[in-house]
Structure 1
Amino acid sequence: MAEEFSVDRKTLRKAISVLVDEGILTRIHGKGTYINKRQVSYDLDIMDNFSQMLQRSGMKHECRLLYKEKRKAGFKYAKILQINEDDDVYRLVRLRYGDGEPLALQDTYIVYDIIEDIESIDFEMYSLYDVLNQHGIYASRMDETFSFIELSSPETKLLGVPEGSISFMTEDTTYDQNGKIVEYTKGLTNNNKLDISMTLKK
């Protein structure tokens, strides 16, 4: 590099150190120096959907639909969504990408009858929040819990992380403008690509 750019080696080492300090490069002992890829900033104090979060980070968003089904709520999801056990829900399992890399695995349960012809909607193309908005449903509140868990084998393969990796897990319950619960999502993230941040005010 010194020969290619016609600079002194000392100057080059200083420039690389500056880029490491800025977070543009990462130096790994015994292996070399590598370019850092952009990370997503997950702001705990901002309520937006995954697509909007990637847009704020300047990343290209893609979605792969892994599974979908209409099913009965059952005891667990009836309790979460505050509906009857025999009511229908629509389940979506999606893998979310940023700049072509897997960032999050999301398992979503939607109250079935709030979106007309929900089974015909292409959720690889359309954001769930955008679809809700088109049907006059606007997210006004989200209850979110988060924890860290060890990923299982299928999850590590989908997210492209090593076996035994720890993931930031979110559980989101979304309410509409009338205070009614419309969806619940459990998300598992690729922590190598995600920064978690929040603002605390006294």
Structure 2
Amino acid sequence: MVNKNSPLPIYYQIEEEIKRQIDSGELSPGEMLPSEREFAEKYAISRMTVRQAITNLVNEGLLVRQKGRGTFVQRKKIEQELKGLTSFSEQMRSRGMEPSTKLIEFNVVQASERVARALQVNIGSEVYELKRLRLADQMPMALETAYLVQENFPYLNKEVAKGSLYEYVENTIGVSIDYATQTVDASIANKFEADALEISEGDPVLVIHRLAYLSNEKPMEFVKTIYRADRYTFSVDVKR
């Protein structure tokens, strides 16, 4: 309830009411909130006041705006430990979620200096370039751009690229994946990334660059993965 005679600002009262509904289970993770207009009419307040309350809760991470859809109660973030080498599919299945892949591009390109250095091939060598949208329970989670040495993937095609490359390498080709090096950065989504991930342009994202190696010490893939910051958090154990 909103008490207009209270010394507490109305936007703050709206925030606390939404928090109460989330804590009590009246609003469930992933549930869409009423529109600003509905809030304004229900409490006889301005939409600007409602917008301020919702924006504050979005900034706190309790709510999330989805472009063209509305505002939703934030789902619990997926916590990914930065230890052990697992594929996206393995990560999602371990959490009881169903992974899937939308193949955006499948190309053979000439390796740039950076890609060539990472994959230990000559500049201009032909490598596979895959752009893939990774989903969990049909929700976009990550956008990948991967570069692969052609000779390591003799039968790679679009159908194979729609599944787990790690499973393909180990189960079909019969080669073990040994280890990877990776870095994590913070960034903001450009228009292409935002449209693919169904977030707003300028929203925060987490970026991982990974270079994975086969058991024969040859590079397997050089991949840049952009994760939705509202759905992912990374953790690492450290010991003194």
Common fold by TM > 0.5:
yes
Q: Which has the higher contact order (CA 8 A, sep 6+)?
A: 1
Task: Point out where structure 1 has 5 or more consecutive residues left out of the alignment.
Answer: 1-12
Residue 42, structure 1, aligned to residue 80, structure 2: yes
Q: Sort the Cα spacing of 1:142 and 1:24 in 2 relative to 1 into closer, same or farther, 3 A.
A: same
* Greater share of helix: 2
- 1:121, 1:101 → 2: CA distance? 21
- 1:104, 1:42 → 2: CA distance? 13
- 2:200, 2:21 → 1: CA distance? 32
The counterpart of 1:58, out of the listed 93, 96, 104, is 96
Q: Sort the Cα spacing of 1:113 and 1:60 in 2 relative to 1 into closer, same or farther, 3 A.
A: same
The counterpart of 2:113, out of the listed 38, 50, 75, is 75
The counterpart of 2:166, out of the listed 129, 146, 149, is 129
| Identical-pair percentage | 21
* Backbone CA RMSD of aligned residues: 2.9
Residue 152, structure 1, aligned to residue 193, structure 2: no
Rg bigger for which structure? 2
Q: Sort the Cα spacing of 1:57 and 1:195 in 2 relative to 1 into closer, same or farther, 3 A.
A: farther
- 1:16, 1:150 → 2: CA distance? 28
- 1:67, 1:25 → 2: CA distance? 30
**1:100 alignment partner AA:** Q
- 1:195, 1:163 → 2: CA distance? 20
Task: Point out where structure 2 has 5 or more consecutive residues left out of the alignment.
Answer: 1-18, 34-49, 58-62, 64-71
The answer to whether the Cα contact below 8 Å between 1:109 and 1:185 also exists between their aligned partners in 2 is: yes
The answer to whether the Cα contact below 8 Å between 2:106 and 2:158 also exists between their aligned partners in 1 is: no
Structure 2 match to 1:8: none
- 1:119, 1:14 → 2: CA distance? 51
**1:198 alignment partner AA:** V
The answer to whether the Cα contact below 8 Å between 2:102 and 2:134 also exists between their aligned partners in 1 is: yes
